[in-house]
Structure 1
Amino acid sequence: MKLSVLILTKNEERNIERAIRSVLGIADEIIVLDSGSTDKTVEIAKNLGTTVFFREFDDYTSQKNYGLSLCSGEWIFVLDADEELSKELQENIKRELENPKYECYEVPRRTYYLGRFLNYVWYPEYRKRLFKKGKVRYEGKIHEEVLCQGKVGRLEGDLYHYSYKDLYHQFIKTIDYAKKMAQVMHSQGKKFKLYKLILNPFIIFFKLYFFKLGFLEGTRGFIIAFSGFLYVFLKYAFLYELELKEKYKDKLWL
């Protein structure tokens, strides 16, 4: 059965070759949907035999749904540019597609963080990535949700995730996501609550550090738990700021 691999890109020259090479042995076509790279991303992708399309980025949901429409395969695997299929996952995908039992498959994602792969916190992050064409659509504004028509199975073999270049990169993204999520919440009419600003950051910290076994990762686990704390705190702080701006919109906001 023909397998298409879809990769979304923008300025991913650091990652894109690794991602593409990890699927060359299993993909019948590789579709790269770029949103205006100014580095060598497109050049690298074309040199590796992929088909590159351009679409102006609006949000991940629209971008991925459009990308799905470009794929001609009966099956589609959606791969982020900062990811890589392990050999085990490659073999399991090939084997499963010889006689598929489900319409959609989840795979375990393992994140590379501060010099080595995580074993507890953030693992396994099961992600719906392999599915039959026409059976999936994406919804949501920030953290897009995969909606699958049909039964969902799981495949063994890690999907490696090279998420952050360094801590600065991580915390810049954390702040950015928090602000965007606050904007979505505000647009949906959700109101700021002081108790959520106070309590919810501690809830996520304890979830990541204790329930998700972050303490077994040592210092790395503590930093991850704190990043979760910071994300939730800022999300509600930004929501509060948006409400103040709306309330005092006739006054100068410095």
Structure 2
Amino acid sequence: MAESLDIIILTYNEEKNIEACLKSTLPLNSNIYIVDSGSTDNTLAICRKFTGNIFDHPFENYAAQRNWALANLPLQGTWIFNVDADHRISEELALELNAILSTQTDADLNGFLISRRTIFMDKWIKHGGHYPTYHANMFRRGYGSCEDKLYDQHFLVNGRTKILKGDIIDIITDSINTFVTRHNHWATLEAQYQFAKKNKPDSTELIQPKFWGNPMQRRRYLKNKYESFPLFVRPVIYFLIRYFIKLGFLDGKTGFVFHFLQGFWFRMMIDIKVYELQKTDSKPDELKA
């Protein structure tokens, strides 16, 4: 018996991305749900050409928005697929998903891990340990949620997962200015998280770090190991491993720009912001205002 699919897409002023995203979902026989947070451009007009399931909800953070959508949308499908506006469903993934949806899956299989294919300045970043990178974007309705984190949130799946071969194509920026602005904001959020984490252990509702676990658990294990290294030293070590040992240099000039910005500059900005928080916290209370 065939199984049904609901696709959830979060939007905010995504007129440059949303049409290509929605077109890439057309090969899938799915119900599309848009959760918008106050777009003022043509995003919603474009969305209405593809679906009438458009909902408005104020944006707090990505985790809260995704979990609100899971809890409040009139979802009907057997499976839920979470897609970002700058994502594209590859032809290979669409074929793979249609094959899965055409039959009844095992009752204990509750999620699928799908790799992102990062496209930066029109180039596929294949090296530096950046591909494949798996995320549990698709799960059985009622068996998934989003981690309650301000940055680097992953979907949690209750039950067995399976790795798929097809990719989500991730168009991560329309310009270097956009990339830098976004990552500066995300560096602030990640710094706040790392600083607060010193005094508060991770929740059991986050992905649990396991070296021998699934790809997401292994990645979280390695991230925790990275965070145990000293500030300002760890970005240097990480970049050297990523660019030389993991062959990031094979991505050419465009790859160098990406690996430098995302693998060194971004992480150094996090450390600088953590250091700033530590300096502020060490001041006497009367000087903290």
Q: Name the TM-score, length of structure 2 as normaliser.
A: 0.80
Equivalent residue number for residue 103 of structure 1 = 110
Equivalent residue number for residue 132 of structure 2 = 124
How many percent identity over aligned positions? 31
Distance in 2, matches of 1:68 and 1:27, equals 20
Equivalent residue number for residue 231 of structure 1 = 266
Count of matched residue positions in the alignment of Structure 1 and Structure 2 = 252
Equivalent residue number for residue 188 of structure 1 = 197
214, 217, 234: which one aligns with 1:200: 234
Cα distance change, pair 185–108 in 1 and its aligned pair in 2 (3 A): closer
66, 69, 76: which one aligns with 2:68: 66
Give the C-alpha shift of residue 92 in structure 1.
0.6
1:250 maps to 2:254:
no
Give the C-alpha shift of residue 59 in structure 1.
1.4
Checking the alignment, whether the CA contact within 8 Å between 1:104 and 1:132 is kept in structure 2 is yes
Distance in 2, matches of 1:156 and 1:202, equals 32
Equivalent residue number for residue 154 of structure 2 = 145
Give the C-alpha shift of residue 10 in structure 1.
0.7
Equivalent residue number for residue 218 of structure 1 = 252
Return the letter of the residue paired with 1:51.
N
For structure 1, list consecutive stretches of 5 or more residues without a partner in the other structure: none
Checking the alignment, whether the CA contact within 8 Å between 1:78 and 1:130 is kept in structure 2 is yes
1:209-235 Cα deviation digits (max 9, x unpaired): 134321110122222222221122111
Distance in 1, matches of 2:161 and 2:256, equals 33
Distance in 2, matches of 1:208 and 1:36, equals 38
Distance in 2, matches of 1:120 and 1:250, equals 49
Equivalent residue number for residue 42 of structure 1 = 44
Return the letter of the residue paired with 1:239.
V
Between 87-96 and 23-32, the greater mean CA deviation after superposition: 23-32
Checking the alignment, whether the CA contact within 8 Å between 1:29 and 1:50 is kept in structure 2 is no
Equivalent residue number for residue 173 of structure 2 = 164
Give the C-alpha shift of residue 190 in structure 1.
5.4
Aligned to 2:76, the other structure's residue is in SS state: coil
Give the C-alpha shift of residue 153 in structure 1.
0.6
Distance in 2, matches of 1:123 and 1:117, equals 9
Give the C-alpha shift of residue 66 in structure 1.
1.4
Return the letter of the residue paired with 1:215.
F
Distance in 2, matches of 1:189 and 1:175, equals 22
1:6-26 Cα deviation digits (max 9, x unpaired): 001111110001111111231
Give the C-alpha shift of residue 252 in structure 1.
8.1
Aligned to 1:47, the other structure's residue is in SS state: coil
For structure 2, list consecutive stretches of 5 or more residues without a partner in the other structure: 201-226
Equivalent residue number for residue 215 of structure 2 = none
- Cα RMSD (Å) of the superposition? 2.2
Give the C-alpha shift of residue 251 in structure 1.
3.7
Give the C-alpha shift of residue 52 in structure 1.
0.8
